[in-house]
Amino acid sequence: MAEEKKYDIVVIGAGPGGYCAAIRAAQLGFSTAVIEKRPTMGGTCLNIGCIPSKALLDSSEYFTYALHGLAGHGIKVGSVLLDCASMMARKERIVAQLTKGVESLLRQNHIAVLPGNAHFLNSSHIEIDSPSGKDVVFANRAVIIATGSLPAVLPSLPVDGVTVVDSTGALSFTEPPKSFAVIGGGAIGLELASVWARLGSNVTIIELAAQLLPGWDSQSAKLIQRLLTKQGMRVITGGTVIAVNLNDNKAILTVRNGNAEESVEADRVLVAVGRRPWTGGLNLGGVGIEPDPKTGRVTVDKNYMTSCDKVYAIGDLIAGPMLAHKASAEGVAAVERIAGKAGSINYEAIAGVVYTSPEVAAVGRCEDDLKARSIAYKSGIFQFKANGRAMAMDRTDGFVKVLADTVTDRVLGVQIVGPNAADLIAQAVTVIEFGGSAEDMARITQAHPSLSEVIKEAALDVEKMAIHAPPVARE
């Protein structure tokens, strides 16, 4: 038996939550170790999530623009061909570069990386099972569980990795499937649908709820549905897959939509119906931690501590949106609180982004939410098509919507559908963090010409004072 290693803080999982927690711990002077079962660092995000998908989204966007968009600029292009293997290789290079980068950061911060699968012997002793044997580590101050999540399964449609895939599989097709059915119209489903639609697949998106992106601003969801349809994807909302027939490397899905039933044929099917927290093999029960049976989430207090003393949990494991930046922020906050500092997160100011084209981004509350809670609000909206920069970029679809409190004018939420929404939303996040008002957003001068001006005009529109929109009748 190898000798026991002792650390102040042991982090289980080197995804965005885990590695950020570890680095912050090292900064604060704790001796730190990270246990990771994957040979590369970065968790789902870097290896099979955010990063590879964004690489493919950008590559495929260039492909489709080369095919359809360049001519409008007066650029004549011959035949545009796809070398899928190269596209995938590029994606892999980016992933490798980033995972090596995290490895390097961990090493430079003198954080021990312990490969293998972790399980609790007790609240401060963790056994690590690896090809080279079993090791035990002792955590003096805390254990932080950051094991993340896995794609949720549809019992009726198990993933076989060939015809029926999950997001990991859909990131590595060797060529665009002729027909591609995506079950689940959330962020992941829409992004992967977009990648392959752009690369030539016949795509059908099947979403259970009445709108795509359930839970998101309904106006944004309606617009993105219209735009994805214009891009050649078929969208079925309110649809349930009631039967599956798998034969001959093809899938025939029976989809019920209200009273109607139809058959959707696909060479490949992506099951993207959400993600579930992953705590398998950890032996949480052995330390008295019971995840919620329905959601799989682990309950923590405001210090991110679980029901077991000195054991913490962050990221996709606990309540809140399953977002990498939320996990990272929680990793840092948890460690700061362990150190007796006051790290905290403003959950009202965490943006969500969907990397379709155009991008969809939102922070704070949406109209549907405010209406449901009977909160009085006023709103302003402005279209990208009226913006000079957007016109020059040939990216004119979309809008910015600003929601503000009727009485105090405080910004309650901002939704963006449009080019670079993921970056533009940062301004709204900042204003919300500082408790700013719509008038503040409206009076902050933005560079011209820039996409940011759309935000300014939308904020001006809250009081119907937009300069670049036709005058609104004022009572």
Partner 1 sequence: MKKEIVVPEIGESVAQGIIVSWLIKNGEKISEGEALFELETEKATVTVPSTASGVVEILTAPGTTVKIGETVARIDTEVGPSAQPAAETNFGEKKIPPLPPSVRRIVEENRIDTNTITGSGKGGRITKADALNAAATTVAASTDNAGKPITIKNAAVSPSEKVPLTNRGQTRVPMTLLRKRTAERLMRAQAQAVYVTTFNEIDMSNVSAIRVHYQENFEKTHGIKIGFMSFFVKACCKALKTFPELNAQVDGETIVYNNTYDIGVAVSTEKGLIVPVIRNADLLTFAEIESAVATMAARAREGILTPDELTGGTFTITNGGVFGSLMSTPVPAYPQSAILGMHAIKKRPVAVDDQIVIHPLMYVALTYDHRIIDGKQAIGFLVSIKDFIEYPDKLLLEM
Q: Residues interacting with partner 1, by CB under 8 A?
A: 376, 406-410, 433-437, 439-440, 443-444
Distance CA 74, CA 339 (A): 60
Active site residue 448: yes
Amino acid letter, 223? L
Map residue 144 onto helix, strand or coil.
Answer: strand
Contact 402, 458 (CB under 8 A): yes
Among residues 421 and 460, whose Cβ is nearest to partner 1?
Answer: 460
Catalytic residue among 73, 110, 325, 448: 448
Contact 251, 181 (CB under 8 A): yes
Provide, rounded to whole angstroms, the least separation between the CB of residue 437 and partner 1: 4
Buried-exposed string 194-221: b where 16+ CB fall within 10 A, e elsewhere = bbbbbbbbbbbbbbeeebbbeebbbbbb
Helical ranges in 310-402 per DSSP H: 324-338, 367-372, 388-393
Provide, rounded to whole angstroms, the least separation between the CB of residue 227 and partner 1: 34
Contact 373, 430 (CB under 8 A): no
Provide, rounded to whole angstroms, the least separation between the CB of residue 203 and partner 1: 44
Distance CA 99, CA 115 (A): 15
Among residues 207 and 457, whose Cβ is nearest to partner 1?
Answer: 457
Among residues 81 and 407, whose Cβ is nearest to partner 1?
Answer: 407
Measured in residues, the chain has a length of 475
Among residues 1 and 473, whose Cβ is nearest to partner 1?
Answer: 473
Q: Are strands 359-364 and 202-207 parallel, antiparallel or unpaired?
A: unpaired
Among residues 275 and 410, whose Cβ is nearest to partner 1?
Answer: 410
Count CB-CB contacts under 10 A for residue 474: 7
Count CB-CB contacts under 10 A for residue 460: 22
Peptide bond into 151 cis (omega under 30): no
Provide, rounded to whole angstroms, the least separation between the CB of residue 379 and partner 1: 15
Provide, rounded to whole angstroms, the least separation between the CB of residue 413 and partner 1: 16
Among residues 61 and 440, whose Cβ is nearest to partner 1?
Answer: 440
Provide, rounded to whole angstroms, the least separation between the CB of residue 336 and partner 1: 18
Q: The tokens of 206 are what?
A: 């099947």
Which residues form the catalytic set?
Answer: 448
